[in-house]
Chain A
Amino acid sequence: MLTLRLTPYASATWSWTGASYVTAEETSSVTPYSHPMVEQLAVTDQTRTLLIVRERLASRASATPELRTLTPAAYDQAVEAAERWPADIVMIETESDRPVRITAGAARTTPLYLAHQGGTLHGSWDMASLKSYATGINPREAARLLIYRPRYGCETLFSGITRLTERATAIFGGALHLHYPEPALHSAPRELAPDGDVLAALTESIDLALDLRPLEPAITVFHLTGGFDSGVIATHAAQRWPSQLTTAALLVIGTGREQQARRRTQIRDHLPFGQHDLLIDCAKAAPLHPDCPRVRGELISPYEEPLFLPFSRLASLIADHGAQTLVTGLGGDEMVALSPTESAVVATANDHITDKLPWLGPFARSALVFSEDGIAPPAAVNAITLLSLETTAPPLLRAGIWPIHPFTHPGMINLGEQLPLDWREFKNLQRRQLASLGLSQDVCNPVERESFVWLVEHSLKTYGIPILENALADGSPLFDAGLVDPDVLKSTISEIEHQPYDEEFHAKLLQVIDLHLAATAFL
């Protein structure tokens, strides 16, 4: 939610320009992302200065950004209060002759990447701004990504670029040190009270999540993908704000396409949504198409949407509609996930995520031994959800859209973790909520799989293979670094036309392509 340039040991006297906080002689600057959902404020005790950029909360006037002078005791109270902000927040503390400190909140609606050079720390939500500080590929992180076993942490694909993770503090003054927090604790499942009304608790939790921020229905779009998660949020919101809400989705291709369209129509007809439904047909916006900015060599972070083209077009469509905010269903899977101890199937679910992918290069294989090192401790929001927020935010922010993810609210997470097994398996919580609204069996228990799997297959075969063939002909930083074996990659793609498509195997070539494109653009 901001860009920054901090030079410790230079001026620590700040002022607000109307768009940025800057120091004397502009040795340091902090520029908040300009959006009605974001605000900034600053306090100083004339020795220490605290700059805050944060998500606004509902029912509160926008904070005044001009610096305020406090007593040292009041300054301490201000720091402690900021640490308890319930939405996304970044706190920057500066003091003469001391390192600068940057702390992120737990929500992490938007990412913050950091890099430093020549005594100055640079930061941005858009990794493209830090291109010049990328010095190479981090083999451990590359290996994690290549085998589809991501780990949330401060390491990014690029050496020289660091992620400021949730509740972590970056301390910069000469060197950069990132300090992880204690692990967030999580609840175990509990028994329901005899008269426990789970669906009432769910809708109450959704209301708490929706009411946290100053959401304006007229300029807010709700994802309504056909999936249960966005469906639960959007249908409840439609009941709260009848005839006001615009919906949006990507239309899938493949077996589930007709069912998705039918179910979405049923949902929109049954609940009081607004008249507008913003759709991007993935059949006409396939990932890896030559029109995709990533394919064209633009600086797109490897952590942004793998299906970049359709998602960025949807973001533009939402912006053109006049919306400023998008509500998603991200985090819904994690809310009701079973643990490996609850389900033998879950325990072995990731067996297909193998380090035996034949195209893994020798340096990636050896780096995998250390893949669990240096990762962030458990967060309040599940790491996979946090990474999903990170894929989603930058394309939306470029379009002027602020994302809201109700399933990441602590109330939703706590509710889900404590639910008994039968409420969580098969996403029964979401299914039962939709059924309680009178939605049909077709909506609540769809038969066909609705997924991007066919889109990925089509994109790989049509556009992805040529990209890989070009990489084999022209070279790739991934080959140079020993992370991908070009000979095995070549034989794999030459066989792909003659073998049945294996979505759990061949689909992982998508990551090879995305990392190749990112490494080529950034290095």
Chain B
Amino acid sequence: MSTATLDPALADLQPPAAAATPTSGGLFTGRLVLTVQTPAEAHETKKRSGSSDGAQTYDTPVT
């Protein structure tokens, strides 16, 4: 992978610099731990299926 800066004439190919996010600014303490989600964590709905539609409703999720 090349890390050289693109020719300015191709500036529209370059994505913008990543903006600082609130989570990078000291909102939290402790280590940032990154994990691989299980299929249930990654794929399952957190709502009861009362409304039975794939699109989101405003049923309160299960808590």
Contact = CB atoms under 8 A, between A and B. Distances in A.
Interface of A: 41, 43, 52, 57, 60-61, 63-64, 68, 70, 73-74, 76-78, 80-82, 84-86, 148-152, 183, 185-188, 190-193, 196-198, 200-202, 204-205, 208, 225-230, 303, 305-307, 311, 329-334, 336-340, 343, 345-346, 349-350, 352-353, 372, 375, 377-379, 382-385, 387-388, 391-392, 410-411, 414-415, 418, 425-427, 449-453, 456, 503-504, 507-508, 510-511
Given A185-B35, A192-B29, A41 B13 contact: yes
8 shortest A-B CB distances, which residue pairs?
A: A227-B58, A201-B22, A337-B46, A378-B42, A185-B34, A507-B52, A190-B28, A378-B37
Given A383-B42, A415-B21, A452 B49 contact: no
Contacts of A338: 46, 61-63
A57 B36 CA distance: 30
Contacts of A80: 1-2
A511 B2 CA distance: 48
Interface of B: 1-2, 4, 6-7, 10, 12-16, 18-19, 21-23, 26-37, 39-63
A458 B22 CA distance: 45
A8 B24 CA distance: 45
A332 B14 CA distance: 30
B46 A418 contact: no
Interface centre among B26, B42, B44, B58 (most CB of A within 10 A): B58
A350 B45 contact: yes
Contact of B56 (A57, A333, A349, A450): A333
Nearest to A202: B22
B31 to A, nearest CB: 8
Contacts of B19: 208, 411
Contact of B46 (A191, A334, A456): A334
A351 to B, nearest CB: 10
Contacts, number: 231
Given A43-B13, A82-B13, A391 B51 contact: no
Contacts of B6: 74, 77-78, 81
A507 to B, nearest CB: 4
Given A229-B58, A339-B41, A384-B44, 7 more contacts: A81-B15, A148-B49, A148-B52, A183-B36, A331-B56, A372-B39, A391-B55
A64 B12 contact: yes
A277 to B, nearest CB: 17
23 contacts: A77-B6, A151-B43, A183-B36, A186-B34, A186-B41, A196-B27, A201-B23, A208-B19, A229-B56, A306-B53, A333-B47, A338-B46, A345-B63, A349-B48, A352-B49, A372-B39, A378-B36, A388-B54, A415-B27, A427-B63, A450-B58, A451-B58, A508-B52
A319 B33 CA distance: 44
B50 A388 contact: no
B46 A305 contact: no
A193 B28 contact: yes
Contacts of B46: 333-334, 337-338, 346, 349, 384
Contacts of A152: 42-43
A332 B62 CA distance: 13
B39 A375 contact: yes
B20 to A, nearest CB: 9
